[in-house]
Amino acid sequence: MKVWNRLFVLSLLFVFTGSAVYAAPKEESSQMPMDPAMAEQMEKMKELMSPNENHKVLEPFVGEWTYTGKYWMKPESPAEEMAGTAKHELIYGGRFLKQEVEGPWMGETFNGLGYTGYDNIRGEYMTVWFDSMTTGMMSMTGEFDSSTRTLKQTGSHSCPMTGEKARYCRSEWIAVNEDQQIYRSYAMSADGNEYMSMELKYTRVR
């Protein structure tokens, strides 16, 4: 009889301890699940921070180039000749096009540096340019015309020739084909009419 009593007690202990084990709460994950609204916001933010097809249109401009060109101080001025080399490369994961230019100009060595990128939030292309001939920076914004493979922008820059703090400028950068590019810039004459102030023709080296 004592044996059966002991077995009965042991059986009860097994049932209770087993139930306690199975009823014990599982350890919570060390990382709490993200709120759905926050997860959606993070995904949208990641999309806005990442390069996309709008940045890919800058790829044809990448490479090492030689260029020849002409520029006009005024509409009625004779054209001045210019030539040099340029290196264009995509940086920061394809987000920006870095442009480095070097060549003789007005008896000195001209060096220029520019950055162009597409701002996903503003929905437009943005360019900033500065060089060894001025102390100001040119800034422009615009769009890419896929039908003509042309980056079109307008903006302003300070001008040491006229003393203007924000002189109007407009540009067209055309990817003619894989080995040729044309860059044209336009300025405003004293009578308020736009004229082409510079034209550069690029030929790919590599």
Taking the chain (206 residues) in runs of 10, the rounded mean pLDDT of each run is 40 39 47 82 93 97 98 93 97 98 91 98 98 96 98 97 94 98 96 96 97
* Beta-strand pair 194-204/63-71: antiparallel
pLDDT score at 30: 60
Exposure of 171 in the CB half-sphere (CA atoms within 13 A) = 25
> Which two structure tokens, joined as six digits, stand for 130?
């500065």
**Contact between residue 120 and residue 129 where contact means Cβ atoms under 8 Å apart:** no
Residue 205: the pLDDT is: 98
Is the domain spanning 53-204 CATH 2.40.128.20? The answer is yes
- Distance set, CA 76 to CA 158, 190, 196, 203 (Å): 22, 11, 11, 28
- For 162-198, b/e burial (b = at least 16 CB within 10 A) is eeeeebebbbbbbbeeeeebbbbbebbeeeeeeeebb
pLDDT of residue 24: 42
- Cα gap 160→134, rounded to integer Å: 7
pLDDT digits (tens, 9 = 90+) for 52-78: 999 999 999 999 999 999 999 999 999
